[in-house]
Amino acid sequence: MGIRFDRLALRLGLPRPPLVPVVRLDGVIGRGGTLSQGGLTLAGLAPVLDRAFAMPGAKGVAFVVNSPGGSPAQSSLIARRIRDLSAAKNLPVTVFVEDVAASGGYWLALAGDEIVVDPASLVGSIGVIAAGFGFQDALRRLGIERRVHTAGERKSLWDPFLPEKPEDVARLSAIQADLHQVFQAHVTARRGAKLKAPPEVLFTGEVWVGLRAVELGLADAVGEIRSTMRARHGENVRLPLMNPPPKRRWWMWSRTASSGPSIGDFMDTIADRIERLRIGL
């Protein structure tokens, strides 16, 4: 409808209202596989990003971030594509944080030339986490034998069905340290002199509310998308949404006329809640 209106206005010689395409980055980053649907990946978002930056007459592109994090690689790839398109199209990027931009979610927020948060947003978590379970006693009680064969003595790492090994923990810690350094370097490169606290404060994995994030220089201002864009581009600014919010698949409610909830829906719900409860109120 908006594009048709623009074409009609152009034919009639009427001025077009200011336009700022909006892209939502909502959910866990990098989820995939048969038990997960959606999630944020570059492959899934690339067509949406291309459309947003190709909109005729756009004054910029706005992103709404609401993510507890996820894959470091996908966080980096998505943010890099946004920056590449911003440079290629010469369009500024403004990021608006809703509930949370933590860990990989904050990495996505760093793609913005400006980060705007709600006073109650949760921002930061500049760290790396690995969590799992140990099932070796359960297997023994059930009479199940674990069989793993590898070529390469370090092929297997942190197997949840075997007792935890100190050497595995040391290897995992080294990987986490390397990823943490990459994350810190990216934050420093993107925020630079805006940062108002030393690394030993900012890079501990701590999460802050929006107001405190602005004080620390992790964000630029407090606000929300409609009032901010209207103040900058006028009351008639159009904010077309390039992608709809993901469907919430709570297993107890995701029924159809012919079938009940699937195990995939249930697992998606559990995985999503685990990620969000790490930083939830």
Mean pLDDT, 10 residues at a time, over the chain (281 residues)?
55 76 94 57 95 95 95 94 98 97 95 97 85 69 74 68 73 81 93 94 92 97 96 94 67 42 53 50 37
Q: Exposure string (b/e) for 49-88, b if CB count within 10 Å is 16 or more?
A: beebbebeebbbbbbbbbbbbbbbebbbbbbebbbebbee
Q: What would the 3-class secondary structure string for 182-204 be?
A: HHHHHHHHHHHHHCCCCHHHHCC
Q: Which pLDDT belongs to residue 111?
A: 97
Q: Which pLDDT belongs to residue 24?
A: 96
Q: Kind of pairing, strands 61-67 and 22-26?
A: parallel
Asked if residue 217 lies in contact with residue 192, where contact means CB atoms within 8 angstroms, the answer is no
Q: Which pLDDT belongs to residue 280?
A: 41
Q: Would you put residue 66 in left (φ > 0), alpha (ψ -120 to 50) or beta?
A: beta
Q: Which pLDDT belongs to residue 258?
A: 43
The helix/strand/coil state of 117 is strand
Question: pTM to 2 decimals?
Answer: 0.79
- Report how far residue 90's alpha carbon sits from residue 88's, in angstroms, rounded to the nearest whole number: 6
Asked if residue 130 lies in contact with residue 178, where contact means CB atoms within 8 angstroms, the answer is no
Q: Which pLDDT belongs to residue 146?
A: 73
Which residues are catalytically annotated?
103, 155
Domains in the chain with CATH codes: 15-125+206-277 (3.90.226.10), 127-192 (no CATH)
